[in-house]
Amino acid sequence: MHNRLITLLAILLCITLSSTVMALNPIVDYAIFQNPEGESYVETYLLIPSDGVTFAKNASDKYQASVEVTLLFKQGEKIAAFDKYLLSSKEVENDSTAIDFNLIDLKRMPLDAGDYTLEIDFKDMNKETAPVHYESKVTIAPTADELIVSDIVFVDTYQETESDNIYSKMGYDLIPNVARYYPPKTEKLTFYSEIYNADKALEDDAFLTIYAVKKAGSNEIVQKLRKFKKQQTKSVNVLLAELNIADLPSGNYDLAIEVRNKKNELLAAKTAIFQRNRKKDELNAETLKDTNIEGTFVTNLKDEEVAFYLGSLYPIAVPQQRGYVSTLVKSENYHLMRQFLYRFWQIQNPMDPEGEFSAYRQVVDEVEKAYSSQIKHGYDTDRGRVYLQYGPPNFIRTESQEPSALPYEVWQYYKLVGHSGMVIFVFVNAELVGQDYRLIHSTARGEVRDEQWRARVFNDAKPIVTEGTPNSKSVIQHYGTSIGRERD
């Protein structure tokens, strides 16, 4: 089980910093640390893609984006910490189309032990739109003399501190990788964490810190990506390290930190999930031509099964693969379909591609049973697509008899990677017949968003028209095995 209620079921949304629609689309993450006096504080990390904000002329006759950020921690109705400020971009000349940077910010707030709600509102000051709201539960454990590992911060770049600034920490300036996403050009994974009370909790004067990349949700170390560091006990030990991920296949992974004593006994641990996208894993006719499928599981599938399960990859394939999947399904080239299907799962799990396929196949079959119609496969429906892309929701609220309302469902995910807080999806049966519920609103990045969805649900006089499936960039790793109403 991951910290901060991270439940790894199904897939990770591959976060990108671009969008085809101009919309404020902030990415938020946070981490909990302690100062040298043992008092807790929270660091919040904000990243706002530049293509989602409006650049307008300022007093200097240059173009600049500005976002009003209202950030607060609440306990019930009581505000424990608050800040409101303008986050402004650097100035650019009149050609705003050449912008190649994003807005990034970091805030630190001291907080006592307890349960909090982190709420952040983002408002584009150069555009008349409603603020974008973010919300997450944050729990700060009581401080103690036991050995503790802080949260893990993924680091984009770092350097030794020359003069203190908002990114300065323990002698380094650390620019966070808020999205936890590693594109093809990035070959190193850098991270930062702190270990507290080693001098109080250990009898020995040294300990071992082990860090490794593991398959998401498991204890399986990937590609021998494991290192260790011997440290002398201090009140605060810093771990700033990196791993070479140049050959790490596309997928979802855990970065795991373990602290062990001289007897190799596990004293404390921490994990954090990230996603890797590697260009070498592209699948097309050229890269598939030498794929040997003789004796593999795909040869045991009937042609219609091959086409069906190949089509079911569409919700989880990266954009470069999705067009090719559609082309293949229409081509009736079943040998090439089998090659694609085998290679896709071989990338996910080189040691057991059949096991990965079987796990996904079980979920696809359940989605087909639950959501298919006479004209659509289950994976072609909005609910089926979301289920396959993000995994089973923690809770589903179904309303089919509410007065003056269209039948609708609200799916809640208590934790999706890169979102920190609860994420919802709202589906509506606008036609009032059948079971084709269309997605009209979600708080997940990259999905259709409509803050007025309640008004649309309760306006039964007008049919609802929705956009097509968004450009997901997901890579599957683990799959839920039942379509239920609530899960832990």
- Residue found under tokens 């399986």: 220
Q: Which residue has the higher pLDDT, 414 or 42?
A: 42
Selection from 84, 128, 91 nearest residue 105 by Cα: 84
First to last CA, the chain: 11
Above 60 in pLDDT, residue 470? no
Q: Do domains 1-142 and 144-279 have the same CATH topology?
A: yes
The widest CA-to-CA distance across the chain, in whole angstroms, is: 73
Q: Which amino acid is at 194?
A: E
Selection from 37, 39, 189, 6 nearest residue 108 by Cα: 39
Above 70 in pLDDT, residue 276? yes
Residue 485: what pLDDT?
Answer: 40
Selection from 315, 226, 217 nearest residue 13 by Cα: 315
Query: Where are the strands (E) in 35-170, listed by range?
Result: 40-48, 56-57, 63-64, 66-75, 78-88, 103-110, 114-124, 132-140, 148-149, 153-160, 168-169
Determine contact, residues 165/173, Cβ cutoff 8 Å. Answer: yes
145 band by pLDDT with thresholds 50, 70 and 90: confident
Q: Average pLDDT for residues 345-363, to the nearest whole number?
A: 90
| CB environment 109-123: b (16+ within 10 A), e (fewer) | bebeeeebebbbbbb
Phi, psi of 372 (to 5 degrees): -70, 160
Structure letter (DSSP) for residue 94: S
Question: DSSP assignment of 401-426, as one string?
Answer: S-TT---EEEEEES--TTT-S-EEEE
Residue 348: what pLDDT?
Answer: 81
Q: What percent of the chain has pLDDT over 70?
A: 86
Selection from 469, 466, 176 nearest residue 315 by Cα: 469
Element at 201 (helix H, strand E): helix 198-201
- Starting at the edge strand that comes first in sequence, how are the strands of the sheet with 221-232 ordered? 181-182, 266-276, 251-260, 206-215, 221-232
Q: What angle do CA 322, 284, 292 make, to 5 degrees?
A: 120
Above 80 in pLDDT, residue 288? yes
Sign of the Cα pseudo-torsion (304, 309, 315, 321, in order) = negative
Residue 447: what pLDDT?
Answer: 85
Residue 9: what pLDDT?
Answer: 29
Above 70 in pLDDT, residue 6? no
Above 50 in pLDDT, residue 4? no
Residue 481: what pLDDT?
Answer: 40
Selection from 43, 89, 46 nearest residue 177 by Cα: 46
Residue 98: what pLDDT?
Answer: 67
96 band by pLDDT with thresholds 50, 70 and 90: low
Q: Average pLDDT for residues 434-442, to the nearest whole number?
A: 88
Where is average pLDDT lowest: 77-81, 203-207, 256-260, 281-285?
A: 281-285
Phi, psi of 103 (to 5 degrees): -90, 125
Q: What gap in Å lies between CA 242 and CA 229, rounded to an integer?
A: 12
State the fold for domain 144-279.
Answer: Immunoglobulin-like (2.60.40)
The SS3 call for residue 231 is strand
What value does the mean pLDDT of the chain take? 85
Q: What percent of the chain has pLDDT over 90?
A: 56
Provide the residue ranges of all domains of the chain, joining segments of one domain with +.
1-142, 144-279, 280-476
CB atoms within 10 A of CB 77: 5
In Å, how far are 134, 167, 325, 437, 471 from 446, measured between CA atoms? 15, 28, 21, 19, 7
Q: Which amino acid is at 449?
A: R
Where is average pLDDT lowest: 106-120, 185-199, 202-216, 434-448?
A: 434-448
Tokens representing 11 are 């897939």
Residue 473: what pLDDT?
Answer: 37
311 band by pLDDT with thresholds 50, 70 and 90: very high
Q: Average pLDDT for residues 205-214, to the nearest whole number?
A: 95
In Å, how far are 95, 325, 343, 347 from 336, measured between CA atoms? 46, 11, 10, 16
Q: Average pLDDT for residues 139-163, to the nearest whole number?
A: 93
Q: Average pLDDT for residues 415-433, to the nearest whole number?
A: 80
Predicted structure pTM score: 0.66
Residue 420: what pLDDT?
Answer: 61
Question: DSSP assignment of 460-480, as one string?
Answer: TTS-----------EEE----
What pairing do the DSSP bridges indicate for beta strands 188-196 and 206-215?
Answer: unpaired
Above 50 in pLDDT, residue 22? yes
Q: What gap in Å lies between CA 186 and CA 206, rounded to an integer?
A: 33
Q: Average pLDDT for residues 308-327, to the nearest whole number?
A: 86
CB burial class (10 A; 0-12, 13-18, 19+) of residue 455?
Answer: exposed
Q: What gap in Å lies between CA 190 and CA 446, rounded to an integer?
A: 26
Residue 213: what pLDDT?
Answer: 96
Q: What gap in Å lies between CA 347 and CA 222, rounded to an integer?
A: 12
Phi, psi of 166 (to 5 degrees): -65, -20
Determine contact, residues 478/9, Cβ cutoff 8 Å. Answer: yes
| CB environment 195-234: b (16+ within 10 A), e (fewer) | bbbbeebbeeeebebbbbbbbbbeeeebeebeeeeebebe
Question: 356-407 pLDDT, tens per residue?
Answer: 999 999 999 999 999 998 889 999 999 999 999 989 999 999 987 777 889 9
Q: Does domain 1-142 have CATH number 2.60.40.3880?
A: yes
Determine contact, residues 46/105, Cβ cutoff 8 Å. Answer: yes
Q: Which residue has the higher pLDDT, 8 or 443?
A: 443
Determine contact, residues 115/63, Cβ cutoff 8 Å. Answer: no
Selection from 419, 457, 452 nearest residue 438 by Cα: 457
Tokens representing 79 are 């505000």
